[in-house]
Amino acid sequence: MKIKNVKHFPSGSWVISVLLLYMVLAMSSCSSGNAVRSKSKYSSANKRTRVNNKPVREDEPVYVKKEAREHKNSGNRVVNSLRTRIVESATSLTGTNYRFGGKSPETGFDCSGFTGYIFSRNGVPLSGPSDALAKKGRNKSKEDLGPGDLVFFGDSDRISHVAIVASHNGDSLTVIHATTSAGVKVDNINGSAYWESRFLFGRDILSD
């Protein structure tokens, strides 16, 4: 039996219909699926969020520590420069006469007058007898003494003398001081039985 009135679409129309359907499905999947994928852990947007909101890295405080070290080193350089100037000023007056109560090169020096003059001349106001100077700054062991530190001498009853450390290298501890016998001079107190027997302690009045 023959079927009548059945229309046959051209083969080209069928292909176009399939293509249109495919395009519609493809467009709908890009718009919705892409929104979900943009939140995935692999998306660049999510990576930017983590970068912007990330906590401070553990290595970042290194910069703070570096600045602190630089500041500390800068302070050390200033103190060391001051110590050098003090020693140079004291050394320049070697040979100045001794005078009890003397506080200037013109009149001569006693030990505390010499020490006070040198420090004050370099911007560190200092005055008074040796026992008063011994209360300044902080204690420092003999092994740690350096240029510009003070050393005190005496006995169990009193402090009788003060000197300025010029250098400390190994067994050599040299000081600059005003002595009753020879005025302002440099001595290695580690090589002197007299000064070693009278050594009491050291003080650092420059580091604080």
In this prediction, residue 120 carries a pLDDT of 97
Name the CATH architecture for the domain at 62-204: Alpha-Beta Complex (3.90)
Catalytic annotation present for 161: yes
Which pTM value belongs to this model?
A: 0.65
CA–CA gap between residue 130 and residue 112 (Å, rounded): 5
Looking up tokens 């003059």, which residue turns up? Answer: 117
In this prediction, residue 41 carries a pLDDT of 43
Per-residue DSSP letter, 144 = G
Give kind and range of the element (H or E) at residue 191. none
Q: Give me 14's structure tokens.
A: 């069928």
Out of 8, 30, 168, 177, which one is annotated catalytic? 177
In a 13 Å sphere around the CA of 41, the CA atoms on its Cβ side amount to 0
In this prediction, residue 27 carries a pLDDT of 46
Q: Are 46 and 40 in contact (CB under 8 A)?
A: yes
Domain range summary for the chain, segments of one domain joined by +: 62-204
Going from the first residue of the chain to its last (208 residues), give the mean pLDDT of each consecutive group of 10, the final group possibly shorter.
Answer: 48 56 47 42 42 47 48 64 96 97 97 98 96 96 96 96 95 96 96 94 92
The DSSP-derived string for 68-89 is: HHHHHHHHHHHHHHHHHHHHHH
Out of 8, 30, 71, 111, which one is annotated catalytic? 111
In this prediction, residue 138 carries a pLDDT of 96
Out of 8, 71, 161, 168, which one is annotated catalytic? 161
